[in-house]
Amino acid sequence: MLKLGILDQSPVFPGYQAGDAIRHTVELAKQTERWGYSRFWVSEHHDTSRLAGSSPEVLLAALGAHTSRIRIGSAGVLLPHYSPFKVAENFRVLEALYPGRVDLGIGRAPGGMPIASQALRYGRPKERDELFGETLRDLAGFLSDRLEPGHRFEGVRAAPLVETAPDIWLLGSSGFSAERAAELGAAFSFAHFINGDGGHEAMRRYFADYRPGPLGRAPRANVCVMVICADTEEEAERIAVPLDLSILLREQGQFQRPFPTYEEAVAYPYTEWDRLRIQVNRNRMIVGDPKQAKARMLAFSEEYGVNELIVVTVTADPQARLRSYELLAEAFALRG
């Protein structure tokens, strides 16, 4: 049976404020737990007016308090910006609060423009890619109290000293994170919603090259994809129009532009090249009525060789987003 989880980026819907976006995220987690989704992940973005989720650790504390069963996690903490010791302590606090329910998803993307990355690192130099594996090993050591003998921080323990640890997932939209996940034993999530190309090969190599390591003992994987589901195919296509334009504008560097309304998207002066880009970007999403969406999601998961999809749904209307998740839960007969 295909499992479904959710990635929520706390989008700021047209006509709403950032505070509303955070409250929408909390309400969505409560509702999707009732509908039977397996996990609820939140993202990290910086210096943007479009997405309100900048601190997954803080948001997860609230989500855990408002839910009781669904797994909660980050997708992800952008580790190159931070001390692995502090990340370990943040997630040990979450594990103490909600034992057995926490996923620590790790990414290496900047999460914003270069100036925001510089502010996050506060003058520290950018971490080189070849050091990412070492940082991950340190994180695992702090979470398990098993730093390698002779490590410069040997003896330092991440508080609180809890008996359980969060599951570690590496997130990526290329083969790099898949390789690191296989090398270090982590679970792996491919961001198809970011990159519609190369994911199948990255996933194949992950399973082929996997070996147990400090981040895990057995291979586990899922794929994150955009899905818009509505009662009819026509309505789903209508809801997808603003998302098509939003993705196009981001590709053109318009990161601060608010998420468009349907009316704005219809009136936009598209060029022939714009329409070609929209067609290509549709490879990153599944759009349709419940029957169509289910069939396409099942085929999509089989192509990737995974039994779990993480769904991200961004619309111009919060009610349309809720309805999309509700219809998917009904189509897959999820159980709360």
pLDDT tens digits, 275-317: 999 999 999 999 999 999 999 999 999 999 999 999 999 999 9
Q: What is the band of 226 on the pLDDT scale with cuts at 50, 70, 90?
A: very high
For the residues of 62-78, what is the DSSP string, one character each?
A: HHHHH-SSSEEEES-EE
Three-class DSSP category at 135: helix
The pLDDT, as a whole number, for residue 262 is 96
Q: For residue range 63-104, what is the model confidence (pLDDT) as tens digits? A: 999 999 999 999 999 999 999 999 999 999 999 999 999 999
- pLDDT category at 335 given cuts 50, 70, 90 is confident
* Mean pLDDT, rounded, for 328-334: 98
Pick the CATH number of 3-226+287-331 from 3.40.50.720, 3.40.50.880, 3.40.50.300, 3.20.20.30: 3.20.20.30
Residue 144: pLDDT band (50, 70, 90) is very high
At residue 98, the pLDDT reads: 98
Q: What is the pLDDT of residue 111?
A: 82
Long-range contacts of 157-162 (CB under 8 A, 24+ apart): 158/85, 158/88, 158/89, 158/92, 159/89, 159/92, 160/92, 160/93, 160/96, 161/92, 162/92, 162/95, 162/96, 162/99
With cut-offs at 50, 70 and 90, classify the pLDDT of residue 151.
very high
110 pLDDT higher than 80: no
The ranges assigned to domains in the chain are 3-226+287-331
CB-based burial label for 174 (10 Å; 0-12, 13-18, 19+): middle
pLDDT at 142 over 90: yes
In this prediction, what percent of the chain has a pLDDT beyond 90?
89
Average pLDDT, the chain: 95
Q: Which amino acid is at 276?
A: L
What does the pLDDT look like over 16-36, one tens digit per residue?
Answer: 999 999 999 999 999 999 999
pLDDT for 20 equals 97
pLDDT class for 123, splitting at 50, 70, 90?
A: confident
Q: What is the pLDDT, as a whole number, of residue 117?
A: 84
Lowest mean pLDDT: which of 131-135, 230-234, 255-259?
255-259
